[in-house]
Amino acid sequence: MPDDRGTATPIPEASTPSPESGGRLMRWASYASVTAASVMIAAKLAGWIATDSVSVLSTLIDSFLDVGASMVNLIAIHHALQPADREHRFGHGKAEPLASLAQAAFITGSAAFLVIEAGHRLFEPRELARTEFGIAVIVASIAITLVLVAFQMYVVRRTGSVAIRADSLHYRSDLLLNLGVLASLLLVRELGWTLADPVLGVVIAGYILHGAWGIGRTALDHLMDRELPDEDRERIRGIATAHPGVHDLHDLRTRASGTQVFIQLDLEMDGEISLNAAHAIATEVMERVATAYPKAEVFIHQDPRGIHEPHHRVI
């Protein structure tokens, strides 16, 4: 949720499948993305050769980058799904935002190339050929992309995957891109507006850059351990302090790493109770928080009420 610091780090929804089922969904989404992009590359390459359209070229370049980005996703998801080990005690979840950051770089590169090519065509317009074939290719690409995005969004709702979310955002951008290319080809064919082709290329490049910024910012939030949204922090605080054995809490720290969420907090309890009683209270609070956030690892430290520790953290 947006706040005064920008866009807060999203977290996975509470209704999620088992880790094994979620992992399978994420892998299938990656396979579907690579397959769809490969099919569209073949179709758009034929369309570009037939029409010599810069707008068709723009969507062809984007599909090439889709394959590259999706392959990065596939590798990253494979690593992200590996369980924690001796060298990586907190798991491998940050492989996902790293893949998203790579996607942002891919997308930015495609936009820069597109601006150069479109600028050249603005000063040296060319007549397009066989626009009907180009239109058929773009319509088929739109249909394939719609099916892929619908599947990706289903996977995101089920798993909360950052990498699949970034990939889906890219393909949703492709839908608008392809619709724009379709409009451009229709304008050229019906009205003879040859400048519509390069002008649309520049507009598409700007839109692609905007998408790259959003993907990169979300990835950096995860890599920099940004806090969860304020409403989630307040919810966690409310769950913990609702226990009758808890007087207060401090040092609440949260972060997301791919689909994994980490929650750490210090509970303040009556200093006269036994260690066993304090442990039981902390365990009950941990279970309540974990129920609300099933993809979270919860770490709780127990402090006697009124004891001020020498360190201080922002809460």
pLDDT value at residue 259:
62
Measure the CA angle with vertex 292, ends 290 and 298; round to 5°.
25
pLDDT value at residue 34:
81
Q: What's the pTM?
A: 0.52
**Helix (H) or strand (E) segment spanning residue 154:** helix 131-159
Which domains, and CATH codes, for the chain? 2-223 (1.20.1510.10), 230-304 (3.30.70.1350)
If you average pLDDT over every residue of the chain, what do you get? Answer: 76
Give me the residue label for tokens 């935002």: 97
Count of positions (residues) in the chain: 315
pLDDT value at residue 7:
44
Q: Report percent pLDDT > 70 for the chain.
A: 73
pLDDT band at 270 (very low <50, low <70, confident <90, very high): very high
Strand-by-strand arrangement of the 260-269 sheet: 248-257, 260-269, 296-304
Secondary structure of the chain: what % helix, strand, coil (to 5)?
Answer: 65, 10, 25
CB 259 within 8 A of CB 96: yes
CA 55 – CA 114 distance, rounded (Å): 9
On the question of pLDDT at 300 being above 70, the answer is yes
CB 148 within 8 A of CB 36: yes
pLDDT value at residue 60:
80
pLDDT value at residue 269:
92
CA 194 – CA 182 distance, rounded (Å): 14
On the question of pLDDT at 220 being above 80, the answer is no
pLDDT tens, residue by residue, 119-176: 766 676 666 667 788 788 888 889 998 999 999 888 888 877 766 777 777 787 777 7
Region of poorest pLDDT, from 58-67, 88-97, 211-220, 269-278? 88-97
pLDDT band at 2 (very low <50, low <70, confident <90, very high): very low
What does the radius of gyration of the chain's CA atoms come to, in whole angstroms? 25
CB 1 within 8 A of CB 235: no
pLDDT value at residue 180:
75
Across the range 25-41, mean pLDDT stands at 84
265 Cβ partners below 8 Å, 6+ apart? 236, 240, 249, 250, 251, 252, 253, 299, 300, 301
Q: Report percent pLDDT > 90 for the chain.
A: 15
pLDDT value at residue 13:
46
